[in-house]
Each structure stands twice: as structure tokens, then as C-alpha cells.
Structure 1
Amino acid sequence: MARAENKVTAGPTAQMVANLARKLRVRKGWTQEQLGNEIGFSGAAVSAMETLAQPASDQMLVELERVLGDGMAIFEDARTSVRLEKYPEQFKDFAPMEQSAVVLQMYETLVVNGLFQTEEYARALIGGAYPPLSQQRVQDLVQARMERRAIFDRAPVATIELILEESVLRRAIGSPDTMRAQLQHLAEYACRRNVTLHVLPLDCGLCGEHAGDNGGMTLLETPEHDRLVYLEIQYESLLISDPAKVSTFTQRYARIRAQALSTRESLGLIEELAGEQR
């Protein structure tokens, strides 16, 4: 089923890559097994790519460019588009904005933000989605989510801030081992110079208000210094560019941050909870 589903849903770039790779392989007189040996993949993986049963991974595209590209950068140029085709429909328009952003500020109320997820945590989340997804689709989405993390090491450096509800840290996803690794991962990323991480405590509402009670949000500043707000819920998304509305979200986000724990306190809580996952 997964193979048939992928052949139907494969995007135009994945189709182009498959067709071109097959033609260039045949021109060289190579079998799928021989091409696989050249690029470090099995012949079955090459066959899956050519038949669209499994679109080329980012690493396969890198190797195809090296072996078949002939200096034309065709497979290199396809990497971004192939990656975008793997994303859920509601995220495709926002994904390139996220990757080029100079500032990202995110507030999450239910689960760890995708940029900060470990592979095991992401697989547990995506694999448990409803309606159920095929195993191959789960793998594609997990891979695409992991590839988003390139923004952390991108040049020029992006400034990234994340505020997590304390309930996110306490909500069990996957297994105790998965949660412990996820919390440790958050702690490691919190120590990066371009990352700021806050935790909004469970008792923040005791002060008489809870600035984050309307749900999560992502604030983004583009390379042109335009400011946008991205909202996503129940597989639907909304991108807001109206300056007045963006200003309101920005002020609300600032209030949420003011109610959150300090970065030092937040890191301490994350490390404490990681130690409890035994």
C-alpha cells in the first residue's frame, strides 16, 4: 500500500529526479545495483527512487549530484523542492520562510516544537497521528522534520527563541526513554548561543492571568525584516501579515515570556524532569 500511495502522491520534483536519474544511469550503462554501489545505497533503494515508491532522500540527492550531476547542479537544486514536497500540505508555504528567517519566536502548549524534536519523539508523534499514516509516509515526515534543524547551524545565524508550557515537558510521548532523550536534547539546545528557551510554569495563572491561554504561535522576521505570525491547529494553518494583528501577537508573546521562568530556571527544570524519566 505504501508503495502505491507514494507513486500517486509523489510531487513533480520527485518525479523529475526519478526520471532523470534513470536516464542518466542508463546512459552510463549501469544497473540499479551498480548505481547503488556508486552512491552508497542498495540497488533496491535506487529502484524505489526510480519507481517513486520512495522519493530520493536528501543524502541520496547529494550523492546523485556527485555521481550523475556532471557539474550541472540539477540534483543539488532539487534538494529544497523535494524536501518541501514531503511536508504536510498546511506547512508547505511556511517551511521556506522558516528556513530563511532571521528571527523565530515560538510558543508551544501541547508538544515540543518540531525544530526541537528528537527523531524518536517525532516518530512517536507522527506515527500516532489520526487518520493513521502509512509507515513510509511516517518516515518521510520524520525525515523532513529532522532536516528542518539545519536552521540552527545556518549562516547567517538565526536567532531562535522557544517558550514551552511546563505541561509539554510532563506529557509522556513514546516511552520514558524517548522523553528522557527529548528533555536532554532540549537542555543541550538551550545552551546554544543563538537559542533562548523558557518554560511557562503550570501555576502561572495563579497571578490572575495567563497570557498564553489562546494557544501556540510562531513569530517570524524575514531577511527583509518583515514580521509575520504563523498559527497551526488541527492540520489547518494561518499566516498573518497584517501589521496591526502582528503587533497584537507580538505584545501577547512578550507577556507570555514575562510570565515564564528565566532561562536558568527553565534549564534547571528541564534537567530535573529528565532525571525523573527512569
Structure 2
Amino acid sequence: MARSENKETASAATRMVADMIRKMRLRAGLSQPELGTRIGYSAAAVSAAETCAQAPSDAMLVALEREVGDGLGFFEDARAPLRREKYPRQFRDYSGLEQKALVLRLFATLVVHGLFQTPEYARALIGGGFPPLPDERVEQLVEARTARQALFDRQPVPLIELVLEESVLRRTIGSAEIMRDQLTFLAKCAQRRNVTLQVLPLDAGVGGEFAGAYGNLNLVETPEHDHLVYLEIQDESLMINDPAKVSTYAQRYAKIRSQALGPRESLGRIEQLAGEER
């Protein structure tokens, strides 16, 4: 539901898009109900977008570009910055790096990495967090999180490596059905040519060595071939670009990967656990 207080706190980008929606609607000689009919939204939704009561969704921007964009590409170009504004503040800087990365090397220890979450899994996870969020905010975050998966098919194709703790695959989020679908989606992702997915098994620490004890890890190689590390815990984040520290984290990631199951064996483990959720 649109909130009146959003009008006071709307960002410059949201205000600019709102103004452009109104101008392009009037240029096309359309009322708010008429524009709503053409793009598949209510007149109230159009009004909310034009008054900054609620930022337009990604799907609405696509429809606006198609119906009243007039070939300018404005609404298409607005998708990325508006999507970024929906992310939690601590994630916004990293989100831009993620979408442009040449290489991502990821390690997730508690839940499925956000880049690989299904909408239903993300909704259960975000909606079940604390403190509780309004339903509107939950849906914003779900939409923004799943939109990140456009990266999988981006050109130039990025290389994405993900190591998941086996406990992540065994921890049911939402329901058995949601978890089964999430595992099935992971299996499909693992079969992409630009994705390598490995499982760090529960017995990885047998013998005294366990490189994954320090938690989640995101390594990024940018288009300029800079190497960065992004860490996030308890709604706080840290971006690291010091070469010596990045090298240490890269070595740690290499050790984590060496202790994980191979890609084929990992895929088999995921498919096995998906079957157990039936």
C-alpha cells in the first residue's frame, strides 16, 4: 500500500521518474485511469507513482517504456537506479558492483546466497525476519533481490562461483515445498556454463581443518580488473580493497573451495536433498 510519508522521503531519482511519468502521460493525452488500463495497473497505482507515494515497480517501468516511452529509453534506464534504492542501505554500493562484475566468488553459510534465491524463498526469509517489515516493504525487497538474477544472462557473461554450506541446503525456509523448489532452482543454476556451484559438506571439518569458520564471503573482480571483498553481517557491511587483505580472503576462499565437494558431486547432493523434500 502506498504511504503518504513516502512523498516526503522520496529520493531525487524517484521524484524525477514521477515527474516524467506525468509529463509523458499528458504528452500522450491520457488520464491516469487510461494510462493504468494501457499498462495493466489501477489509476491509484499510477497516481501513487506520479506523487511519489510509491515508487514504480520494475514491471511498471517496463510497461511505461513500452506504452509511453516514445523511444527515449528513459524508463528503461531508470530501472537500475530505482531498483538499487529498494535495497537495504548497506547493500546499495555493492549491488552496482555485483551487476557489473566479471567474476564473483561467493560463500554462503546460513541461507542460500541472495543472488540464487527463488521469490518464494526470499519472501519467506525476508518476511520472517526481525523486526517484522510491512508487507509492502517485503515485496519491494523480494522484487529487488530476484531482479539481480539478470546477471546470469548478462553480456559479457560473468563467471560466478558459489560454495554453499550443506547446512544451508538442509535448513527448511518457509515450507518443504518452498525448499524443494529452491533446491531445484539451485540445481538448474549449477548446470549453467558460467556458474560453478559446490557444496561444503557437513563433515568438512573432520581432521581439524575447516576454512569456512569465518562466515560469508563475497569476492569481486570488476571490469577494470580490480579485486574487492564485500562482507555483510547483522545489517552492517564492509567493502575491502586493500590488496594484501583481498589476497588473504582470496586464499581463504580457495581453501574453502578445495574442501568442498566437486561440482558434479555437489549437484548430486542438491538433487538428492530436493528429492527428500517431497
SS at match of 1:264: helix
Q: Residues of 2 paired with 1:111 and 1:6: CA distance?
A: 31
Distance 1:66 1:173, change over 3 A: same
Q: Offset at 1:19?
A: 2.0
Could you tell me which residue of structure 2 aligns to residue 157 of structure 1?
Answer: 157
| Aligned ranges 1:39-118 → 2 under 5 Å | 39-118=39-118
Q: Residues of 2 paired with 1:178 and 1:54: CA distance?
A: 29
Q: After superposition, give the CA deviation of every residue in 1:151-175 in whole Å (9 maximum; x if it has no partner).
A: 0000100000100001100111100
| Aligned ranges 1:166-245 → 2 under 5 Å | 166-245=166-245
Q: Offset at 1:132?
A: 1.4
Are the counterparts in 1 of residues 124 and 174 from structure 2 also a CA contact under 8 Å? yes
Could you tell me which residue of structure 1 aligns to residue 3 of structure 2?
Answer: 3
Q: Residues of 1 paired with 2:228 and 2:41: CA distance?
A: 41
Tell me whether 1:36 sits opposite 2:36 in the alignment. Answer: yes
Q: Residues of 2 paired with 1:135 and 1:126: CA distance?
A: 10
Are the counterparts in 1 of residues 65 and 76 from structure 2 also a CA contact under 8 Å? yes
Q: After superposition, give the CA deviation of every residue in 1:214-271 in whole Å (9 maximum; x if it has no partner).
A: 1110001001111110000000100100000000000000000010011111111111
Q: Residues of 2 paired with 1:12 and 1:122: CA distance?
A: 28
Q: Residues of 2 paired with 1:179 and 1:204: CA distance?
A: 23
Q: Offset at 1:72?
A: 2.6
Q: After superposition, give the CA deviation of every residue in 1:91-146 in whole Å (9 maximum; x if it has no partner).
A: 00011100000100000000000110000000011111222111111111100011
Are the counterparts in 1 of residues 28 and 68 from structure 2 also a CA contact under 8 Å? no
> Which amino acid in the other structure matches residue 79 of structure 2?
R
Higher mean displacement: 233-242 or 67-76: 67-76
Are the counterparts in 1 of residues 219 and 227 from structure 2 also a CA contact under 8 Å? yes
Please report the TM-score for the alignment, with normalisation by the length of structure 2. 0.96
| Aligned ranges 1:99-138 → 2 under 5 Å | 99-138=99-138
Structure 2 residues without counterparts, runs of 5 or longer: none
Please report the TM-score for the alignment, with normalisation by the length of structure 1. 0.96
SS at match of 2:211: coil
Distance 1:202 1:167, change over 3 A: same
> Which amino acid in the other structure matches residue 44 of structure 1?
A
Distance 1:174 1:2, change over 3 A: farther
Could you tell me which residue of structure 1 aligns to residue 139 of structure 2?
Answer: 139
Q: Residues of 1 paired with 2:42 and 2:270: CA distance?
A: 41
Q: Offset at 1:30?
A: 1.8
Higher mean displacement: 55-64 or 233-242: 55-64
Are the counterparts in 1 of residues 2 and 48 from structure 2 also a CA contact under 8 Å? no
Q: Residues of 2 paired with 1:14 and 1:220: CA distance?
A: 29
Q: Residues of 2 paired with 1:275 and 1:6: CA distance?
A: 45
Could you tell me which residue of structure 1 aligns to residue 276 of structure 2?
Answer: 276
Distance 1:67 1:224, change over 3 A: same
Q: Residues of 1 paired with 2:244 and 2:196: CA distance?
A: 26
Aligned-pair identity in percent equals 64
Query: How many residues align structurally?
Result: 278
Are the counterparts in 1 of residues 228 and 241 from structure 2 also a CA contact under 8 Å? yes
> Which amino acid in the other structure matches residue 273 of structure 2?
L
Higher mean displacement: 10-19 or 96-105: 10-19
Q: Residues of 2 paired with 1:5 and 1:234: CA distance?
A: 27
Q: Residues of 2 paired with 1:101 and 1:167: CA distance?
A: 28
SS at match of 1:207: coil
Distance 1:68 1:128, change over 3 A: same
Are the counterparts in 2 of residues 218 and 231 from structure 1 also a CA contact under 8 Å? yes
SS at match of 1:91: helix
Are the counterparts in 2 of residues 218 and 229 from structure 1 also a CA contact under 8 Å? yes
Q: Offset at 1:18?
A: 1.3
Q: Offset at 1:206?
A: 0.8
